[in-house]
Every structure is written in structure tokens, then in C-alpha cells.
Amino acid sequence: MNTRIVIGQYYPVSSRVHSLDARVKLLSVMAFIIVLFFITSFSGYFFAAGCVALLVRSSKVPPRFLFRGLRSILFIMVFTAVLNVFFTTGETVFKFYFLNITYEGLVLAGKMAMRLSLLIVGSSVLTLTTSPTQLTDAIEFLMKPLKKIRVPSHEIAMMMTIALRYIPILIEEAEKIMKAQMARGADFDTGGIMKKAKSLIPLLVPLFISAWRRAEDLALAMEARCYRGDIGRTRMKRMELVKNDYAAMSVMAVFVAALLAINLVF
């Protein structure tokens, strides 16, 4: 497992979070993402960060492995922070020629950084503690009402899961191709933007061919196993909610209520 790539990977270990129903985890993550956009105070973000830390500990996923996934959004975090710091009007803290840093900009940049970090970590916990089959079944179950308007929920869920699981595979393949070409004298770092863009062409072509071959192999494997979509499909393991799942939903409801209350009071 590539420890630098977190999105789309599954970390197999026995824990309370792993044993929860995939539907409960998916709905909990959706609720967590939605409620984060209603938080406007640092106290709310710190409370959410503490709860996420407890969740990570319960999942038995190594924290170093999990938080390394934040490297993938480091550029976005820095870019948004710079925009907020220099382009938000308010009380001036530091001014140098045309650069004007405001107190409101610093506060907004800090909140955006915490929000993005919590979004990535919370979403990563879902994929790290849920197998691809469970995640597909959960997405399909939640999209089941759309079948009434002839929406292929099973096929959409399958495509979403395959795309999610292929992210780390393609990134790892791109790293291998880049290292092989750098060993042969290729330069991906020097030069201007146009030169760097042109240097990526020898990387994209073999990566596209590799992705095409993987997709073809996957299609052949699915056909060899008589996969025909949702037609006549049955499941070896039925999804059923148990006491731990109801307890997890109760805890999530209390967390959302407490987070909103802290945000209003503080």
C-alpha cells in the first residue's frame, strides 16, 4: 500500500468503525460534510477536529498514514489561504506596497484550511474503513429510489466505486513511469510552464495506455464472471443494521447537534 496516497484505499483491520454498516458510515460522512459548511467559529472546528481524532483512533488506522493524505491538497490549501489573506477587506494588520494583509483575511484563511483538512480526513476514513463491495452496495441502496425514474443506480454506484479505487492505482503507475523516464534523462522540473507541460506528454501517453489496458482487463474479468449489471443479481451477505449501527447513528446525531450548538454559542 502506498502510504502517500490515501484517497481510494482500503486499510484492512479489525475495529469498531470497520464493523459498522457501510450505509451508516456513508450517511454519517455526508452529514459531517454538510454540517462543516455551517460552521463559522474556530471553537466548532476544534470540536470537530477532536471528534475526528477520536474516530481515527477507534478505526485503528495509523494517524501518520491518514494525515499524509493532506499533502495532496497542500497546494489548494496554500492557494486559497493566499487569496483570502490578500483579497479580503477589513482591519489591516500588515501592509507592504500593494500587499494588504487583513485580520479578517487571516481568520478566513485559517477556517478554510481547517475545513478542507477535516473534509479530506473525514472522507478518507470512509474509504479506509469500507471495502469496495460494501461501498458499492451502500451507494446503490441510497440511490434505490431513483430507479422509479429509470436511473441505473447499480451501474452508477459501480462506476463511482471503480473510479474511486483506481485513483491510487493510476497515481502509483504515474510515479513509476516518471521515475523510469527520469532514470533515462527526462527532466520534469526545470523550464517554464510551456516546457513543463510539453515534458508531461511522454508521461501521459503511457499512462493512458496503461489505464486503457487495466480497464480492458477489468471488463474481461467481469464478463468471465457473468456480470450483467443489476439483472438477477443477488448478494452473499445481506446488509442489516445491528445495535452498533443504531448507536453510531445516535452518536452522529448528538455530534451534529453539539457542533451546531457550539457554533451558535461561541
pLDDT digits (tens, 9 = 90+) for 58-72: 999 888 777 776 776
The answer to whether residue 93 scores a pLDDT higher than 80 is: no
Give Cα 63 distance to the centre of its chain: 15
Backbone CA torsion sign across 193, 194, 197, 198: negative
Percent of the chain scoring above 70 in pLDDT:
91
Q: Region 11-15: what's the mean pLDDT? A: 88
pLDDT digits (tens, 9 = 90+) for 129-160: 988 778 888 888 888 888 888 888 888 888 87
What band does 192 get if pLDDT is binned at 50, 70 and 90? low
Decide if 104 contacts 89 (C-beta within 8 A).
yes
Structure-block grid coordinates of residue 124: 478518507
Average pLDDT, the chain: 83
Question: Other C-beta atoms within 10 Å of 163: how many?
Answer: 11
- Rounded to whole angstroms, the Cα distance separating 258 from 241 reads 25
What single string gives the DSSP state of each residue in 26-54?
A: HHHHHHHHHHHTT--SHHHHHHHHHHHHH
Coil, strand or helix at 106: helix
pLDDT digits (tens, 9 = 90+) for 202-229: 788 888 888 888 888 888 988 888 877 7
Q: For residue 11, what are the CA distances in angstroms to 3, 6, 167?
A: 11, 10, 15
What is Dmax (Cα atoms) for the chain? 69
Residues whose CB falls within 8 Å of the CB of residue 258, separated by 6 or more in sequence, listed in order:
47
Q: What pLDDT sits at residue 3?
A: 47
Q: What pLDDT sits at residue 5?
A: 58
The answer to whether residue 24 scores a pLDDT higher than 60 is: yes
Residues whose CB falls within 8 Å of the CB of residue 106, separated by 6 or more in sequence, listed in order:
85, 93
pTM of the model: 0.75
Least-confidence region, from 10-24, 190-204, 216-230: 190-204
- Rounded to whole angstroms, the Cα distance separating 104 from 95 reads 14
Q: Which of the two residues, 8 and 20, has the higher pLDDT score?
A: 20
pLDDT digits (tens, 9 = 90+) for 226-255: 877 766 666 667 778 889 999 999 999 999
